[in-house]
Amino acid sequence: MKLKGKHIAVTGGAGGIGGILCEHLRAAGARVSIYDRVDAAGVQHADLSHLAGITAAGEAMASAAPDIIINLAGLTYFGEFEKESPEHLSALMHVNLLAPMLLARAVIPGMKQRGSGMIVNIGSVFGAIPFAYFAAYSASKAGVRGISDALRRELEGTGIAVVHVAPRAVKTALNNAQVMALAKATNMKMDEPELVVGRIINAMIAQAPHTVIGFPERLFVRLHGLAPTLIDGGVRKQNHAAKSILHTN
């Protein structure tokens, strides 16, 4: 799909990856609408952490009738699951999973009527390889993969493409000091935002159903799909490192 002349709505477009992505999309000739919780010029305010905010964003998107929506906005949590507050857990699931679902639901009727469109869901490698101490985040991203697969099959023949991109860790402000300590302790590979943006745009142009960024992550995703317990031993070292970091005052 050519991006020139397309109207693209991007959630989280004012963030680290989002800002770079929007710049590249505009450079490709697209008209970009940003939906984010920050108050800034050129940004449609959208708080996706609760149902009312998602509903308002969905109504705005449906009215704007974008050719493409990119569900990029996300929250994360690194810590013991029982210590994540119910409020944060609810916000995380709203932003990461419920928003992509309801925003897609809002724009699909218009896309069907026009006979074309694209829904781009940014997931995570953690959605295919659930990690300890990222339980809620992993669950939300597994859901993003699930809704992407289901919608792709449901929308076959309508002219609407569904693209799912699963990055591994990315060097952004979303990672707090503890996550960076974990990355250092385990030699975790982290990609630059520019690389991730390039892969997202390539996936959009190719209308690729699934893109997993990074190796050996692509291999681990396949192995986990075949035999999840084989991965348990491979991530045990990271689990021990994470526990140690979380219990260090």
Residues serving a catalytic function are: 137
- Which bin fits 207, alpha (ψ -120 to 50), beta or left (φ > 0)? left
- Contact between 103 and 118 (Cβ < 8 Å): no
Q: Is 125 helix (H, G, I), strand (E, B) or coil?
A: helix
**157 with 244: CB under 8 angstroms?**
no
Q: Is the dihedral of CA 120, 197, 189, 175 positive or negative?
A: negative
Long-range contacts (CB closer than 8 Å, 24 or more residues apart) made by 114-117: 114/65, 114/159, 115/158, 115/159, 116/67, 116/159, 116/160, 117/67, 117/68, 117/159, 117/160, 117/161
| Nearest alpha carbon to residue 129 among 217, 213, 216, 191 | 217
